[in-house]
Amino acid sequence: MPSRFSAQPRNLPLSQIEKFIPKKWRSVRESDPQNCCQTLLCSSHERISGPCKAGNEPMVDCLLTTLKDFAGQGHIRKAFRTFSLIRTNVSSQTPCDLVIQSLSSLLLCCTNCKSLSEGKQIHAHIINLGIAHSWNLVPRIITFYTTFGLLDDAHVIAETSNILHPLPWNLLISSYVRRGQNEEAFSAYRQMVNRGVRPDVFTYPSVLKACGEQLNLVFGRDIHKSIDASFLEGNLFVQNALVSMYAKCGELDVAHDIFERMSIKDAVSWNSMISGYASKVMWSKAFELFDKMRAAGAEMDIITWNTIAGGCLKTGNFIGALKLFSQMRTCGIQLEPVATLIGLGACSHSGLLKIGKEIHGLVIRSHLDDFDNVRNALINMYARCKALKQALILFQCVDSKTVITWNTVISGFAHWDRSEETSFLFREMLLSGVEPNYITIASILPLCARVANLQHGKEFHCYLTRREGFEEHLLLWNSLVDMYARSGKVVVARKLFNLMSKKDAITYTSLIAGYGIQGEGREAIKLFNEMIRLHIKPDHVTMVAALSACSHSGLVMQGQKLFETMQSIHGLSPHLEHFSCMVDLFGRAGLLRKAEEIIIKMPYEPTPEMWATLLGACKIHRNTEIGEWAAEKLLELRPVNPGYYVLIANMYADAGCWNKLAKVRTVMRDFGVRKSPGCAWVDTGSGFSPFLVADTSSGQTNEIYCLLGGLNRQMKDTGHLSTEDSSSEEELCEGLL
């Protein structure tokens, strides 16, 4: 019968077979595999057909084994040479599968070696041989094209093949999903089903993953119905995919129902459900499921640990996050960057420098200090734990500093109000050629507000207006409004506020707080009402700012109305801070019984600050009864603030309770409480100078106190200073001399 293979001499040893290889094949240099492939394929225009002599079958088997070995090891030149020897040694008795296997191995080699042109030539050769629709070759060809991202070519191969097995389509669909081309994956799935190809347990997980990524719940439910109809709902891979899809689409009840019905659960099953709860910030459910997972003895991988530890970090349970980090290490799980970031983040928030140093040691031993994000997290940890020297040393050891690295060290110094070092680092950042981003500026502006360094704040304002790219970052303009408002420049803050095209709750809150500090409570209330009219929902911080503004301006009725409507209209449950504002509001207005009632009825334990607020109000309004009650409660808490003891002592002195006054002084002595002297910072133009009470350390002491005496006299003349509390300019100067 006619042979499908080229006729070649048979029963020849390998050394003699090489004589039959065309010279132009043998002349290809070993260093140029591409030319080798081109020469090989260009010399085979004939189809595998026609009469053929018997070939050396054992030799073909041996060469095929060698070809597979070379292909598996990535030796593409040797693989092509071996293939050329196979072609010269086939016969009519050689099974066609051997040639197909050799071509399949070559395609695999081209795929693994990322040799696109050679692989295309193999494909062309396959088409020329008339075996392009071979069951063994179609999946290999599709894999080859998808590896290079040529999904359109792979799609053509799948739809032109007459194979009813789902493998070619599965390869295509999974490739679409991996590259995020979910709509194309849906289209390929529909085309596959329409051609009569039945999906299997590998098809459904890919399609369901695409549904989850696209949040396409409708199509996901259709796939679920198809799974039920095909009796594949009991497969573990399919069940995991269903749980993940429903969880990502927010149908957590459905996902949990499927999860509970699963007879077998693996780590993916638990992780899918836990991640679903985590994505919807349902951390209590995630923690509960984690406990069940541990109780069931299920295997936990690094994803499980990181998800739960990360949840502890986000919910403020920093100790819990560190405990999980320790348990993960005890279980023998290899330390990796994400877990390291969680551990360092927990140390940063809790100030646990010692544990942070231990994690630093683990980072060095695990060779994770080469990761930029880990280095930045270490700098942040040391800075937030107030080990600024170590943070700066680590920062200086970084050779290639990115904007994130600079932001980390700048925000660390800004966090502790180190304004001079922060400004120096910012200048160094500019000199290094790294362009600051909006996060850089946003970390410095609040510092300018806190230390009342308005000059630096204005410089940053100019920097923002002169450079493009900052207009859309609302965070920056909110920080500017807050800075001007905190610095007492409410008029400037209002002008900037009016120029802003976009505003949010933070913008309004900053300006409301600024008006409150200046005692302009009515303006603050107007702004709050404007915010409500524009359907900008206030948050708890906004309510604190508004209530505080009412307190500073004596707007008792307005403040009481705001407090009463917090929950009924705005849906905000009052926190301890809001009750504190109400105590201050009633206390300032002299409504001490109402302030007392707030403290007694609120669902929180009063803080020392709250008792001190009530005590101060009692001293001003000369209410000894409530004042003594507040003083006793404050003493029970043993506050660390020495000012509170002074406040109590003054109250007892005014009331003539000398025995109680002596008791307070005894408590202060026993606890080692000492009142720090009052301190003020004055901007002298070239920097800030501190001044203490009765300070004589300045070289301009005489001039300073003479000026102070003049200011006192003016305050007395305008009625801002009582006669009994004032001293004359002459007395001040005389006392110093």
Q: Which range among 80-94, 315-329, 643-657 shows the weakest confidence by mean pLDDT?
A: 80-94
Q: For residues 564 and 595, what is the distance between their CA atoms, to the nearest angstrom?
A: 15
| Other Cβ atoms within 10 Å of 11 Cβ, number | 10
pLDDT attached to residue 39: 35
- Interval 280-318: pLDDT, tens: 999 999 999 999 999 988 888 899 999 999 999 999 999
Residue reference for tokens 């002592």 = 649
- Interval 365-406: pLDDT, tens: 999 988 999 999 999 999 999 999 999 999 999 989 999 999
- 687: Cβ–Cβ under 8 A, 6 or more apart, which residues? 420
In a domain, 375, yes or no: yes
- Interval 197-248: pLDDT, tens: 999 999 999 999 999 999 999 999 999 999 999 888 789 999 999 999 999 9
Q: Strand pairing partners for 688?
A: 683
State how far Cα 630 lies from the chain centre: 45
For residue 613, give the nearest of 625, 626, 602 by alpha carbon.
626
Question: Of the residues 132, 166, 184, which one is the last residue of a structural domain?
Answer: 132
Q: For residues 232 and 229, what is the distance between their CA atoms, to the nearest angstrom?
A: 8
CB 448 within 8 A of CB 460: yes
In a domain, 684, yes or no: no
Residue 515 confidence (pLDDT) above 80: yes
- The token pair that represents 140 in the structure block: 């290999």
Average pLDDT over residues 548-565: 93
Q: Between 684 and 547, where is the model more confident?
A: 547
- The token pair that represents 646 in the structure block: 């002074």
- 173: Cβ–Cβ under 8 A, 6 or more apart, which residues? 185, 188, 189, 192, 203, 206, 207, 210
Question: Of the residues 77, 111, 132, which one is the last residue of a structural domain?
Answer: 132
In a domain, 58, yes or no: yes
Residue 423 confidence (pLDDT) above 90: no
Average pLDDT over residues 490-512: 94
Domains of the chain: total: 3
Residue 333 confidence (pLDDT) above 80: yes
| Other Cβ atoms within 10 Å of 307 Cβ, number | 20
How confident is residue 686, by pLDDT bands cut at 50, 70 and 90?
low
- 720: Cβ–Cβ under 8 A, 6 or more apart, which residues? none
The CA-based dihedral angle spanning residues 56, 62, 64, 68, taken in that order and rounded to the nearest 10 degrees? -170
Q: Which of the residue ranges 8-22, 92-106, 265-279, 655-669 has the most confident prediction, judged by mean pLDDT? A: 265-279
For residue 713, give the nearest of 724, 726, 695, 698 by alpha carbon.
726
Average pLDDT over residues 655-681: 73
Question: Of the residues 132, 164, 189, which one is the last residue of a structural domain?
Answer: 132
Q: Strand pairing partners for 690?
A: 681
Mean of per-residue pLDDT scores for the chain: 83
- The token pair that represents 557 in the structure block: 């009725």
In a domain, 359, yes or no: yes
CB 74 within 8 A of CB 109: yes
Determine phi and psi for 689, rounding to 5 degrees. -120, 130
Average pLDDT over residues 607-621: 90
CB 58 within 8 A of CB 66: no
For residue 279, give the nearest of 316, 247, 310 by alpha carbon.
247
Percent of the chain at pLDDT > 70 equals 85
CB 480 within 8 A of CB 438: no
Average pLDDT over residues 152-171: 91
CB 300 within 8 A of CB 271: no
Percent of the chain at pLDDT > 90 equals 51
**What stretches of 121-209 adopt beta strand conformation (E)?**
none
Q: What is the number of H-type helices and E-type strands within the chain?
A: 41, 2
Which amino acid belongs to residue 365? Answer: R
Indicate the SS3 state at residue 298. coil
In a domain, 689, yes or no: no
pLDDT attached to residue 101: 85
pLDDT attached to residue 206: 95
Q: Which range among 69-83, 86-100, 516-530 shows the weakest confidence by mean pLDDT?
A: 86-100
- The token pair that represents 504 in the structure block: 């949010």
Q: Which range among 180-194, 340-354, 615-629 shows the weakest confidence by mean pLDDT?
A: 615-629
Domain that holds residue 353: 301-398
Q: For residues 209 and 220, what is the distance between their CA atoms, to the nearest angstrom?
A: 9
How confident is residue 23, by pLDDT bands cut at 50, 70 and 90?
very low
Cβ burial of 553 (10 Å; 0-12, 13-18, 19+) is buried
Q: For residues 613 and 581, what is the distance between their CA atoms, to the nearest angstrom?
A: 10
State how far Cα 224 lies from the chain centre: 33
- The token pair that represents 732 in the structure block: 């001040």
- Interval 40-88: pLDDT, tens: 334 433 333 333 344 456 777 788 888 888 888 888 888 888 888 877 7
Residue 37 confidence (pLDDT) above 70: no
pTM reported for the whole predicted model: 0.69
Residue 672 confidence (pLDDT) above 70: no
- The token pair that represents 75 in the structure block: 């030796």
- The token pair that represents 251 in the structure block: 């149908």
How confident is residue 684, by pLDDT bands cut at 50, 70 and 90?
low
Average pLDDT over residues 582-590: 93
How confident is residue 2, by pLDDT bands cut at 50, 70 and 90?
very low
Residue 546 confidence (pLDDT) above 90: yes
Average pLDDT over residues 6-25: 40
pLDDT attached to residue 91: 65
- Interval 253-286: pLDDT, tens: 999 999 999 989 998 999 999 999 999 999 999 9
Residue 24 confidence (pLDDT) above 60: no
* 681, containing H or E segment: strand 679-683
| Other Cβ atoms within 10 Å of 444 Cβ, number | 26
* 405, containing H or E segment: helix 403-415
pLDDT attached to residue 22: 43
- The token pair that represents 574 in the structure block: 């009052």
In a domain, 332, yes or no: yes
Q: Which range among 152-166, 559-573, 627-641 shows the weakest confidence by mean pLDDT?
A: 627-641
**Could you give the angle at which helices 318-330 and 337-350 cross, rounded to 10 degrees?**
140
Q: Strand pairing partners for 616?
A: none
